[in-house]
Amino acid sequence: MFMNHSESYEQIREAIERLCADFPGEYWRKQDEKDRYPTEFVQALIDTGYLSVLIPEEYGGSGLDLKAACIILETIHKSGGNGAACHAQMYTMGTLLRHGSNTQKEQWLPGIADGSLRLQAFGVTEPSSGTDTTRITTTAVRDGDDYVINGQKIWTSRAEHSDLMLLLARTEDREAVNKPTKGLSVFLVNLKEAEKNSLTITPIETMINHATTSVFFDNLRVPADNLIGEEGEGFRYILDGMNAERILIAAECIGDARFLVNKASEYATEREVFGRPIGQNQGIQFPIAEAHVQTEAAALMVEKACSDFDSGKQCGTEANMAKLLASEASWKAADICMQTLGGFAFAQEYDVERKFRETRLYRIAPVSTNLILSHVGTHVLGMPKSF
Ligand SMILES: Cc1cc2nc3c(=O)[nH]c(=O)nc-3n(C[C@H](O)[C@H](O)[C@H](O)COP(=O)(O)OP(=O)(O)OC[C@H]3O[C@@H](n4cnc5c(N)ncnc54)[C@H](O)[C@@H]3O)c2cc1C
């Protein structure tokens, strides 16, 4: 059943809980074991309209706010599932929505809203530039009605399961512009229409099931009509979208942390060793309680960042701080949950070792803890920059 546009946050949470009940731990373990994309789960989210909540109603979405999207992702993760298979569809579209022309929006957004077009891939990171995005070397050179793309992206997740990719490329040399952030442009690349020899997607084997890839461009022609916004201004457009990405991923971390704290406290209550529940020992009980306290504190920061985003306030710092606190809380919860389950934590059937691996990602991606601390140290506290 397609979601009702007037659903309250609580109704959305309950509906996602019901949807996730059809995708229990066993389902996720199987996907993880086979490194398989959770196609059925993603399709269920598309069919019910929950993946297009942020798309305005005029383009076929439900026109809800980021808070609704956070609730969806948090609930998926709290159930033991993983929204990483499709979360990009929620935030990547924002760049097109905010900076695309009316023609582009009319062309692409209705298909993204009804699921016939998947915009799951976001190509920013490159092997040689890492976090230093302004040093990317993938170029887009105008040639008649097209741009010709050459270069390589790494860690482009879901590229094999996406029709479209939002791509950041250099349209002007870094040395030729007055600011390194200028001369970068954003394109909507139609992966399905790309000529065979000009686009190669190679999966990367990783410690988690994340469908991530390397993408190679060899004279890939992209229509100039697919340039989003103004040429050379792409860095700003991408940064805009990153706030939503960070807040949504922080919500996923809160879901992971709550899943792990629940697992740990349930196990600690049931498991008896030395004739009593292990959770009666404060050496076991207190770390779990501490993980809970940190999770709930982080959740407040996520709520604050989300409410700032939804009311149109500047929220770069809040989004970063929310992502940092939530990813540290989920990592702490994962470590404590492992310790609580003892040897059984290593048994796949408990889903703890899987979550332990999955949630570790978020201290590194989409932006690492160090880079967030650097942002706070320099932008908020005014200390000198290290780079
Ligand atoms: C599974 C996975 C999925 C991903 N999906 C995508 C995707 O879909 N699209 C995409 O574009 N990218 C994606 N990424 C890339 C991700 O955003 C980057 O890995 C992340 O931003 C870190 O960049 P890096 O790996 O190049 O690390 P580097 O920039 O090489 O940094 C390595 C380490 O050094 C630290 N460091 C670097 N510079 C400094 C400094 N000045 N001060 C202090 N510490 C510093 C960093 O914090 C980090 O811990 C993904 C990554 C992974 C692992």
Q: Is the bond leading into 223 cis (omega within 30 degrees of zero)?
A: no
Do 375 and 247 fall within a single domain?
yes
Among the candidates 98, 114, 130, a domain finishes at: 114
Domain CATH code at residue 364: 1.20.140.10
CA of 24 to the centre of ligand 1 (A): 31
Query: How confident is the model over 181-199, as a mean pLDDT?
Result: 96
Q: State the pLDDT confidence band at 2, using cuts at 50, 70 and 90.
A: low
- From the CB of residue 104, how many other CB atoms can be counted at a distance below 10 Å? 18
Tens digits of residue pLDDT in 313-342: 999 999 999 999 999 999 999 999 999 999
CA 364–ligand 1 middle distance (angstroms)? 6
Residue 105, domain extent: 9-114
pLDDT of residue 147: 98
Identify whether residues 199 and 132 lie together within a single domain.
yes
User: Going by CA atoms, what residue is nearest to atom 26 of ligand 1?
Assistant: 130
Ligand 1 centroid to 373 CA: how many Å?
Answer: 14
Do residues 149 and 204 both lie within one domain?
Answer: yes
386 within a domain of the structure (yes/no): no
**Pocket lining for ligand 1, CB < 6 angstroms:** 122-125, 130-131, 155-157, 206, 210, 212, 361, 364-368, 370-371, 374, 386-387
d(CA 290, CA 288): 5
Among 155, 187, 212, 358, which residue has the most ligand 1 atoms within 8 Å of its CB, making it the best to mutate?
A: 155
Report yes or no on 4 lying in a domain: no
Domain finish residue from 188, 217, 234:
234
Q: Compute, in angstroms, the gap from residue 365 CA to the centroid of ligand 1.
A: 6
pLDDT above 50 for 1: no
- Going by alpha carbons, the residue nearest to atom 27 of ligand 1 is 130
In a domain, 387, yes or no: no
Asked if 318 and 304 touch (Cβ cutoff 8 Å), the reply is yes
Residues 227 and 325 in one domain: no
Tokens representing residue 8 in the block: 């309250």
Write the pLDDT tens digit of every residue in 96-148. Answer: 999 999 999 999 999 999 999 999 999 999 999 999 999 999 999 999 999 99
- For 277-317, how does the pLDDT look when each residue is reduced to its tens digit (9 = 90+)? 999 999 999 999 999 999 999 999 999 999 999 999 999 99
CA atoms within 13 A on the CB side of 194: 27
Same domain, 133 and 50: no
Nearby residues of 175 by Cβ (< 8 Å), 6 or more positions away: none
Chain segment 256-266, per-residue pLDDT in tens: 999 999 999 99
Residue 48: the pLDDT is 96
Question: Ligand 1 centroid vs 352 CA: distance in angstroms?
Answer: 25
- 1 belongs to a structural domain: no
Residue 161 sits in a domain whose CATH number is 2.40.110.10
- Regarding whether 155 and 74 lie in a shared domain, the answer is no
Domain of residue 53, CATH code: 1.10.540.10
Record the tokens describing residue 283, joined without a space: 């050496």
Q: What is the mean pLDDT of residues 215-219?
A: 98
Q: For residue 59, what pLDDT is reported?
A: 97
Domain check: are 63 and 99 in the same one?
Answer: yes
Mean pLDDT, the chain, whole residue set:
96
Residue 129 is assigned to a structural domain of this protein: yes
284: in domain: yes
Closest CA to 333 of 261, 265, 266, 251: 261
Same domain flag for 156 and 250: no
In a domain, 348, yes or no: yes
Count of domains forming the chain: 3
Query: Which of 82, 187, 361, 364, when mutated, tests ligand 1's pocket best, judged by the most ligand atoms within 8 Å of its CB?
Result: 364
**Do the domain assignments include residue 385?**
no
Lowest-pLDDT range of 2-16, 72-86, 194-208: 2-16
Q: Are residues 171 and 294 in the same domain?
A: no
For residue 320, give the H/E element and its range: helix 316-341
Q: Which atom of ligand 1 is nearest to the CA of 210?
A: 1
Q: Tens digit of pLDDT for each residue in 34-51?
A: 999 999 999 999 999 999
Are residues 369 and 240 located together in one domain of the fold?
Answer: yes
Q: Are residues 188 and 256 in the same domain?
A: no
Q: What are the two backbone dihedrals, phi and then psi, of residue 215, each rounded to the nearest 5 degrees?
A: -125, 125
* Residue identifier of the C-alpha nearest atom 30 of ligand 1: 130
Percent of the chain with pLDDT over 90: 96
Q: Which pLDDT score is estimated for 4?
A: 63
Instruction: Tell whether 161 and 100 lie within a shared domain.
Output: no
Whether the pTM exceeds 0.95: the reply is: yes
pLDDT at res. 3: 65
Q: Which of 183, 200, 234 is the last residue of a domain?
A: 234
Using DSSP, state whether 158 is helix, strand or coil.
coil
